[in-house]
Amino acid sequence: MSRLVCDICPHYCNIEENQVGFCGARSNRMGKISAINYGLLTGIALDPMEKKPLYHFHPGSYILSVGSFGCNFRCSFCQNYEIAMAGKDRVRTRYVSPEKIVRLAKELIPKGNIGIAYTYNEPLVGYEYVYDCAKLAGEEGLKNVLVTNGYINEKPFLALLKYLDALNIDLKTFNDKIYQTLGGGLEAVKHSIKLAAENNHVEVTTLVVPGENDSEEEIRELSKWLASIRPDIPLHLTRFFPRYKMTDREATKISRIYELADIARESLEYVYEGNC
C-alpha cells in the first residue's frame, strides 16, 4: 500500500491508504491526504465572545461557534475529550457545508453575532473546512476566530492567517518535556503565537494544572516570553477541574490562580483569572 505524509502539523504522519493519522481526522484516501471530518460538526452554538476566551476582541458580542472531532494532542486533562479524542465512528455529527454555516452566521447577526469561531475540538485537524469557511465568511463581511493549540506547520498556518481576525492559542506549559508527553512541542506552539501576533489579534490561555505547570518560576518565564513579543497580549490563566484521565486531581485553588496572575502582571499588561 502507498503511504502519504500529512504536512499540516509537526507530527508529519506517514499514513497508509485508507488509514487515519494521529489526530483521528486526517486520512490517506485515493492518493490524497484529506480531512475526514470536513463539515461534520459535533457542536454548534452562539457563544459570548468572552467564552472563547477573547476579552479584547469585540467584547459584548456573540460568535457562532462550531466544532468537529479529533485532535493532534493527547492531553490527560482535556476538557472536551468526548469529541477531541474521538474518531468518526464514536461521535454523532451532522454535515454543514461552508455555505450553510456562513448563511446561518449572517442570519444570527440580529442576535449579536459577528462571525464564526472554529473551536471545541482542535479545529486545525480539519484545516480544509476552516480555510473554506473562513475565506467565504470574510467575503461576506463576517469575523473569523480560531481557538487552537497552535500545533501547526508554518506554511498552512500562514495561508490561513490572512483570513482570520482573532485567535486564542493555548500555551499549555512552558516546559518542552511536558509538551512532549501531551503529543506536541513547545517551540512549534511558540512559533505559531509569534506568527499570529504579527498581524492578528491574539490572546493566550494557559490551563493551570496543580503539580504540572503551576510553579511561580514557569509562569514568570512564560509571561516574560509573551511580553517579549508584545506586553499587551492578554493572558488567561484558567482554573483546572478534574476531567478525563485526571479525575484524581483536585481543582486548582482559586488563591493559586490569583497568585500566579499577579506574577504574570510583572511582565504583561492584561492578565485574567479564568474559571474562578
Provide the terminal-to-terminal Cα distance of the chain, rounded to the nearest Å.
52
Q: For residue 170, is pLDDT > 70? A: yes
| Residue 40: partners with Cβ closer than 8 Å, 6 or more residues away | 68, 69, 88, 93, 94, 95
Q: What is the pTM for the complete model shown?
A: 0.97
Picking from 28, 36, 37, 24, the residue whose alpha carbon sits closest to that of residue 5 is: 28
The letter for the amino acid at 28 is N
Rounded average pLDDT over 47-64: 98
Mean pLDDT of the chain: 96
Bridge partners, 17 (sequence order)? 28
Complete domains list, the chain, with CATH: 3-274 (3.20.20.70)
CB 73 within 8 A of CB 183: yes
Nine-digit cell string for 186: 513547545
Confidence of residue 1 (pLDDT cuts 50, 70, 90): low
Rounded average pLDDT over 58-71: 98
| Residue 178: partners with Cβ closer than 8 Å, 6 or more residues away | 172, 212, 213
Picking from 142, 151, 101, the residue whose alpha carbon sits closest to that of residue 122 is: 151
Confidence of residue 61 (pLDDT cuts 50, 70, 90): very high
Rounded average pLDDT over 20-48: 96
pLDDT at 89: 85
pLDDT at 142: 98
DSSP label of 141: T
**H helix or E strand, kind and range, residue 3:** strand 3-5
Q: For 200-251, what is each residue's pLDDT tens digit?
A: 999 999 999 999 999 999 999 999 999 999 999 999 999 999 999 999 889 9
Which pairing describes strands 14-16 and 32-35: parallel, antiparallel, or unpaired?
A: unpaired
Rounded average pLDDT over 141-148: 98
Bridge partners, 167 (sequence order)? 146, 202
Picking from 183, 213, 210, 59, the residue whose alpha carbon sits closest to that of residue 122 is: 183
